[in-house]
Amino acid sequence: MSRDFKIASLMVVLPLLVVLAAPWAGVRLILPGEVFGWGAGFLDSAEARIFWQLRVPRVILAWCAGATFGLCGMVFQALFRNPLAEPSLLGVSSGAALGAAVSIRLGLGAGSLGAAVTTGLLGTVATPAFAFSGALLAIAIISAFARLARGASDATLLLAGVAISSLFSSLIMVFQYTGGAVETYKLLSWTMGGISVVGLGEGLSAVPSLLITLAMSFYFSTELDLITFGDEIAATRGVELERMKRLLFIGMSLSVAMVVANCGPIAFLGLIAPHASRRIAGPRHRILAPCSAAVGGTALVLCDTAARTLWAPADLPVGIIISFLGAPFFMWLLFRPRHR
């Protein structure tokens, strides 16, 4: 009980500190006095506008996106009973990315991506919808494969994910190669994974996906615990497996798609967050879920802050930094002895 309390407070205090500190950093450090100046109007100064319209929304988007990836990774690891399962390794992210790229090429892209921005309802809905279809397609292929190759090793499933991933990536590259220069550059930097935001509306765009993943993780927390013991144990303890898996796959695909449509496919976060959380909080999903969300969100905010300060004034795609840190972590995960 007291251990749970310690974990909970750690998971509230640390992310809060990071989130409160992050918006001040950037190409240029903004000081509180410049935003909350005496006698000045709300958005009077350039600094205040940068702070409220760019930095704060960006931190919110990064946090929600990171938390969503963390939760999706946690759910996929439980469902596939595989410690290496993760949206991007399973090909779900690249499926979503392919869908989004198709919509952009069709001229339906919106927001920060669209070269020729199609505004209005079609624009804001089309990219996530296409991304969702792509993510579902990837999930369908992977779970069909998992069912057909039952008894195949963990590695087989992951290799299937890698294969699907590279298949989808090659199709994305076709779009990149055949597009115009501006469009190609936009697609390229977006597939690297980046968080760029204009205005609070975009900043809040990942909130729904976070709410979906968080709600589902809590609702199914005991079921996710049980499925860790295998389908037989879960089913004979009364879990409606088919229904649960279907709901979770759809929910997670939808969330990954919404985030990918905004930020691009950010790899490894779904791997790192749940694993780090498991070391802190243990395996039970009721406490692991908020932990994975907190770690994922905070990690992405930290990396994104690094991305916009390290090479300032250049703004690196945050995906590069995540991959740079994530790849060694992945290696460590592969070589470490399982369950001390």
Partner 1 sequence: MSRDQSAERRANGIEISGMSVELGGRAILQDVSFEAEPGGFLYVIGRNGAGKSTLLKCIAGVIGSYSGKLVISGREASSLSARDRARLVAYVPQSSPADVPYTVLDFIEMSRYPWRGVSSEADDRRAVTEAMELTGIAPFADRRLSSLSGGERQKVMIASAIAQESGTILMDEPTTYLDYAHQVETIDVMARVNRERGVTMIVVTHDVNLAMGLSGKLVAMSGGRVEWTGPPAGLLEPGWLHRIFGVSFSRYSSGRDGEFPILVPERGILRL
Residues making contact with partner 1 (CB under 8 A)? 222, 225-226, 228-233, 235-241, 278, 282-284, 338-339
Encoding tokens for residue 11?
Answer: 């998971």
Picking from 51, 3, 1, 7, the residue whose alpha carbon sits closest to that of residue 295 is 7
- How remote is the C-alpha of 155 from its chain's centroid? 23
- The nearest distance, CB 217 to partner 1, in angstroms, is 17
Nearest-approach distance from CB 238 to partner 1, in angstroms: 3
**CA–CA dist 232, 223 (Å, integer):** 13
Nearer to partner 1, 83 or 107 (CB): 83
Distance CA 175, CA 105 (A): 7
Supply the minimum distance, in Å, between the C-beta of residue 211 and partner 1.
24
96 vs 239, which CB is nearer to partner 1?
239
Whole-number Å distance between alpha carbons of 231 and 207: 32
Cβ-based nearer residue to partner 1, 229 or 324: 229
CB nearer partner 1, residue 28 or residue 243: 243
Residue 285 Cβ vs partner 1, minimum distance, rounded to whole Å: 11
Nearest distance from residue 154's CB to partner 1, in Å? 11
**Phi, psi dihedrals of residue 134, rounded to the nearest 5°:** -65, -45
Torsion of CA 101, 83, 304, 191, to 10 degrees: -20
Q: How far is the CB of 161 from partner 1 (least distance, A)?
A: 21
For residues 14 and 233, which CB has a smaller minimum distance to partner 1 in the complex? 233
Cβ closest to partner 1, residue 65 vs residue 158: 158
For residues 45 and 228, which CB has a smaller minimum distance to partner 1 in the complex?
Answer: 228
